[in-house]
Every structure is written in C-alpha cells, then in structure tokens.
Structure 1
C-alpha cells in the first residue's frame, strides 16, 4: 500500500510527478504538500488525518487510527514546471513510442513489448534515445542481431530524444485512480470549471 502511486501537482495544479504513498505522507507531514479530496479541498497533514472515513474510502491503518489515503497532493510553494530533459527509461521509451511496435505498427500492453537496439549492440549500437525503440516479441525475434535493413524490416518512426515537456505525460492507461483524471486532462478541467463572467 505504501508503495502505491500518488499524483503530485505544482501549486498551479499542473501534474509534475508521480510519487509513492509513503513519500506523499512525508511531504504532507513536513508541510511541503497538501492533500486534495474529491471536492478539490486541500488539507494539511493534521486536518487530513482528522477527516472521517467513509466505507468507500481507501484507508491505511496507523497507530491508534485509520486514515484516508490521498491520491493527489499539491505542492505548497513549487509553481514551476519541470524543465529537465526526459529521463531515458523503459517507461519513457514506451510513452515516446506510444506502446507501439516500431516494426509492425501494432499497439501492445507493456508486458508484450521489449526494447530493441536499431543498430544491434553486437554491431556497435549504443543504448541511447536515438538507437532504442519498442518492438513486439515477434518482430524482435525476427530482427535478432541484425539491422532493420539486414532483416528486411522498416522502422515506422525513427527513434529520437524527446524534448522536455511542460508537464508530465501520463497516458490514459497509466491513470490508476479516478482522482487523477481532472488533473491529467487539465485543459478540459479548466474549461469546464473556470468561473464565467456575468
């Protein structure tokens, strides 16, 4: 439970990170963040811990009490957007390639994709943004230790280093909790919830 995910927003309510529940509780306790409930009210650690627990609420047992689990927290002072480059990771390669095999073009679940070196490591290929793509198990097996040209295959999209994004890119299948949805599609949320002029 403590390793489950919590969405972190900057103080302008843009998503900037996904953290663990354990880290979110630490941030609440230290006063760095506030929890957001389903009515978009914010709570510090003490006021969050005093909230009553309904039957449908996710809870965690603490010493002497049961506490609601926050799924979204907002940072108290951080109002910037992440500026660093996108981390080179399996997840970010999957996101860049939209969970699609770059050889056959079919979309797959994460566990049916792997990473392929366009120029194989055995031929001096590097493990970089520009040389790694997602591929399905069949295409990866067919290509083996060959280049796409040698294997008679074509890349659908050439690999590239993604530019930094103004806020984290969470694809729909990564939205694990309903509480995240209004903040993931922030443009839609803002449009429908802005106060209109009389």
Structure 2
C-alpha cells in the first residue's frame, strides 16, 4: 500500500492507494472516528477484482471541493464512490452535485440527505437527487425506512441491502460491502 499526502484546502490529507494500476478506481470515504485501516479487508477483495482503491485515512476537514481537489491531484478522472456513515453523507452530496465524475454510489448506514432518517430528521432538504446507479446498505432494520425513502432521490438503478446486527459495515461486513461495490463497478 502506498501512503501519500495530498494538499486539500487549507491542509493536507493522508491517502492510502493500493491495487492494480487500471482505469477502474474506487474512492472509499470512512466514517468519522474510523481507524485508518477500516477498509483494508474490503480493499483486498476489490484488488482481486482488478480495482484500484483510494482511501483517505480520515474525512476530517473534507468537503465536496476538497474531495474534488484530491481526485484532481491524484489525476483520477472517473471513480466509483463509496462511503460509510459520515463518509456516506459526503458521498451523497458529491454524487448529487458533481455530475460526470462518478460512475456509481454505494453507501452504508446513511440515506439521501433529503430523506428523513430513523428519527424523522431531514439533514439537507435541498440536496439534489443523484443520477447514478446506487446501493444503500443498512446494518439495522431501524435504518431500512430511511434507505427505502432514498429511492425517491435516485434517478437510476437503486438497490437496498439490509444486514441485520451490523454496527459498522466496512469493519464487520467487508465481504458483503465488497460484493456490492464490485456489482456497481461492473459495466454489464
């Protein structure tokens, strides 16, 4: 694995790059407080599927423009987007506002920002819909309604995967998450 520091905004971001050098890349955004290696098992599986992985060690200080700057600095044009919890919130807004840069979206434990969450709270009512093939994974049936409601804000193929009893999808369900990413990255 290659660690690189990329200047983004007013600071820099440590990014873990790995996998074969192909034109197929996956950007994986961790949740707040996740360990830098939270996606390691997922990435190992993705590398076996001929996918290059890009994983910021933390999403602290990252916003839409910082992520776009990171991708520009790494010279990555077209990428599949993945996020977990807070990283999923960032992934949703990127997919909704940066048309033409992302090929697919896979998120874990967060619905679209305009969909009410499990407590009925709408995080961002003005967030536009996404126009990408999208999969929402939830680790608890309590988040299922939020995931289902997100379908109204996806103008493409939409899928919900429920994994009961999983508190951190990348850490506890690496095989299931990698499978969903591979399904979304396949051009068939």
Query: Shared fold by TM > 0.5?
Result: no
> TM-score with structure 2 length normalisation?
0.22
Structure that is richer in strand per residue:
2
Structure ID, larger Rg:
1
